Amino acid sequence: MLGNFSYHNATKLYFGDDSLRFLNDELPKYGKTVQLIYGGGSVKKNGIYDAVINILNANGKTVVEDAGVMPNPTADKLREGVKLARDNKVDLLLAVGGGSCCDYAKAVSVSVNCDEDPWDKYFLRFEEPDCEIIPVGCVLTMAGTGSEMNAGSVITNHDQHLKIGHVFGDEVMPKFSILNPRFTLTLPKRQMVSGIYDIFNHICEQYFSGEDDNTSDYLAEGLMKSLIHSSLIAVADPQNYEARSNIMWTATWALNTLIAMGKETDWMVHMIGQAVGAITDATHGMTLAAVSLPYYRSIMRCGLKKFVRFAKEVWQVCPDGKTDEEVAAEGLAAMEQWMRTIGVAMNLRELGVTEDMLEAIADATILLDGGYKQLTREDVVTILKESL
């Protein structure tokens, strides 16, 4: 049954190869001081930084530089960004980068006017903001996290060996996001592939729960099929704009709440993957890829009906003369073949994980419900061993 829910997603999106110019339409809506958030400097090499600065200057904005947001933004960096925003009384947080920059900008936005430590309040205690939120805008340069149209933020605390995501209320969503697929063309292939798997896993986490044939599941299948189609083109020809544009659009809808409406979701692959990231600092999408198949194979029999549907609808497995278990297993085998073809990490060793780290990763794994099987810590250790 499609359960009860509310849906509200007011982020305005500008999509396409000339979409950056719409920043001129958005900037006049906000005050004079803009905190410009970006990562390690690739936006300076590929010209996106200059293009954004030119538009900010043309609109008479005072720019506060906030560079060096790392792939897994840290609690320490978050505290620095909050101080910067406070000291300069910024009016808009403009993230120029991938999901890390967008996530970080949202974490800053809810913390500037908050007296408590943001890591403790939002990521350890999962509280909601009770202060004024600074508006966020995004210029996206990488497809994957969906952070450009959701209220999620993932922050890492290396001291505590924790990487934790908080999905805030709708009011924390970016006010606008600019999605130019051409900006993603300069990404290294491995990062593109990591993003593709992140998208696929977002869909899986929302799809593999519940037993009903509801609209959300049909939409999820459409997104998966679109992604598989475009990913194979993009891996063979990374400069293919058509494929990259469809991947970018799929990423947004894979995690902007739509396909989770009215159903349960299962975020255990993210929980395990984030624990791997907390210990190793490995690339997010690759951590998900490395643990996905052992996880899904371990729960397959508990959600057999959905895994059979996945095999038939997403991978065109012919069920004739096969048991449900065989059909479901063939679906996961087809998924494995696709993962190998696009070139994701197929095990944890590729990410630098060794056997002696597994207990610490299991300790850092948050056990959620919602999936076909409630995992124990021992289950997590077993899945990690099979992922090595």
**Cα 239 from chain centroid (whole Å):** 22
Residue type, 47: G
Residue among 52, 187, 219, 364 that touches a second copy (CB under 8 A)? 219
Taking the complex as a whole, the smallest distance from the CB of residue 261 to a second copy amounts, in Å, to: 7
Q: Does 206 bind a second copy (CB under 8 A)?
A: no
Smallest Cα–Cα separation from 112: which of 99, 137, 129, 94?
Answer: 129
C-alpha 211 chain-centroid distance: 25
Report in angstroms the alpha-carbon separations of 95 from 4, 15, 35, 52: 33, 16, 8, 11
Give the residue with the Cβ less far from a second copy, 262 or 343. 262
Which residues in the 231-260 window bind a second copy by CB under 8 A?
241-242, 245-246, 249-250, 253, 258
The nearest distance, CB 2 to a second copy, in angstroms, is: 4
The answer to whether 223 contacts a second copy (rule: CB under 8 A) is yes
What secondary structure does DSSP assign to 244-300, as a single string?
A: HHHHHHHHHHHTSSGGGTTS----HHHHHHHHHHHHH---HHHHHHHHHHHHHHHHG
Please report how close the Cβ of residue 222 comes to a second copy at its closest, in angstroms.
3
Residue 230 Cβ vs a second copy, minimum distance, rounded to whole Å: 8
Contact positions with a second copy (CB under 8 A) in 20-39: 22
Closer residue to a second copy, CB minimum distance, 86 or 241: 241
Distances (CA, A) of 114 to 130, 152, 162, 165: 8, 18, 22, 19
Among 44, 79, 225, 373, binds a second copy (CB under 8 A): 225
- Give the H or E element holding residue 107: helix 99-109
CA distances in angstroms from 30 to 9, 136, 151, listed in the order given: 20, 10, 20
Residues 6+ apart with CB under 8 A from 111: 78, 82, 118, 121, 122
Q: How far apart are CB 375 and a second copy at their closest, in Å?
A: 29
7 binds a second copy (CB under 8 A): yes
- From the centroid of its chain, how far is CA 207? 16
- Would you call 200 helix, strand, or coil by DSSP? helix
Query: Can you tell me which of 8, 115, 320, 356 binds a second copy, judged by CB under 8 A?
Result: 8
Residues 287-346 within binding reach of a second copy (CB under 8 A): none
- Residue span binding a second copy (CB under 8 A) among the ranges 9-17, 108-116, 196-204, 346-354: 9-17
Around Cβ 253, how many Cβ atoms within 10 Å?
A: 20
Question: Given the complex with a second copy, which of 79 and 229 has the nearer CB atom?
Answer: 229
Say whether residue 1 binds a second copy (CB under 8 A): yes
CA separation for the pair 193, 286 (Å, rounded): 9
Question: Which position among 86, 229, 322, 373 is part of the footprint of a second copy (CB under 8 A)?
Answer: 229
Binding residue (CB under 8 A) for a second copy from 46, 214, 265, 347? 214
Which range binds a second copy by CB under 8 A, 10-18, 31-39, 158-166, 275-283? Answer: 10-18
Residues that bind a second copy (CB under 8 A): 1-19, 22, 181, 212-215, 217-223, 225-226, 229-230, 241-242, 245-246, 249-250, 253, 258, 261-262
